[in-house]
Amino acid sequence: MPHVRTTLPSRAYIDSEWFALEMERVFARMWLAAGRADQLDHPGAFLRRDVAGASVLIVRAADGSIRAHHNVCRHRGTGLCTEPRGTFHGSIQCPYHAWTYGLDGRLMAAPQMDEVAGFDRSEFPLRQVACQTWDGHIFINLSDTPAPLAAQLGDLPARFAPWAMSDLRLAHRIDYDVATNWKLVVQNYNECLHCPVIHPLLNRMHHYLGAENVPSAETYCGGAMGFKDGVETLSTDGKRRRDLLPGLRGRDREVVNYFAIYPNFLLTLHPDYMMTITIWPQDCGRTKLVAEWHFHPDEMAKKDFVFADAIDFWDRTNREDWAISEQSYLGISSRGYQPGPYSEREKQLWEFDQFVLSKIGHGDPETRS
Which residue of this chain has its Cβ atom nearest to Fe ion in the complex?
Answer: 321
Tell me: does residue 52 bind ligand FES (CB under 6 A): no
For residue 345, give Cα distances in angstroms to 4, 170, 193, 210.
13, 33, 8, 11
- 321 binding Fe ion? (CB under 5 A): yes
C-alpha to C-alpha distance for 10 and 338, rounded to whole angstroms: 7
**48-82 burial code (b ≥16 CB/10 A, e <16):** bbebbebbbbbbbbeeeebbbbbbbbbbeeebbbe
Determine if 368 is a binding residue for ligand FES (CB under 6 A): no
Note whether 96 binds ligand FES by CB under 6 A: yes
Contact mark string toward Fe ion, 24..53, x via CB under 5 A: ------------------------------
DSSP-based three-state secondary structure for 41: coil
Q: Which is nearer to ligand FES, 75 or 172 (CB)?
A: 75
Q: Which is nearer to ligand FES, 35 or 102 (CB)?
A: 102
What DSSP line would sit under 56-105, residue for residue?
EEEEE-TTS-EEEEES--TTT---S---SEEE-SSEEE-TTT--EEETTS
Please pick, from the candidates 5, 11, 25, 75, the single residue that binds ligand FES as defined by CB under 6 A.
75
CA–CA separation, 77 and 292 (whole Å): 32
Point out which span in 70-78, 176-184, 196-204, 269-277 binds ligand FES (CB under 6 A). 70-78
* Residue 321 touches which member of ligand FES, Fe ion, none, C-beta under 5-8 Å by kind: Fe ion
- Closer to Fe ion at the Cβ: 94 or 225? 225
Give the binding range for ligand FES (CB under 6 A) out of 59-67, 95-103, 263-271, 322-330.
Answer: 95-103
Q: How far apart are alpha carbons 363 and 369 in whole angstroms? A: 13
Q: Is 97 in the site for ligand FES (CB under 6 A)?
A: yes
Nearer to ligand FES, 77 or 157 (CB): 77
Contacted by 97, from ligand FES, Fe ion, none: CB < 5 to 8 Å by type: ligand FES
List 19, 27, 88, 99, residue binding ligand FES (CB under 6 A): 99
The C-alpha atoms of residue 324 and residue 191 are separated, in whole angstroms, by 13
**Residues 6 or more apart whose Cβ sits within 8 Å of residue 109:** 98, 99, 100
Write phi, then psi, for 197 (nearest 5 degrees). Answer: -85, -45
The correct pick among 73, 107, 165, 195 for binding ligand FES (CB under 6 A) is: 73
Residue closest to 149 by CA, chosen among 21, 281, 19, 265: 265
Interaction partner, residue 96 (Fe ion, ligand FES, none; CB < 5-8 Å by kind): ligand FES
One-letter amino acid at 18 equals: W
By beta-carbon proximity to Fe ion, the closer residue of 253 and 316 is 316
- Residue 250: what residue type? G
List of residues contacting Fe ion (CB under 5 A): 321
List of residues contacting ligand FES (CB under 6 A): 73, 75-76, 78, 94, 96-99
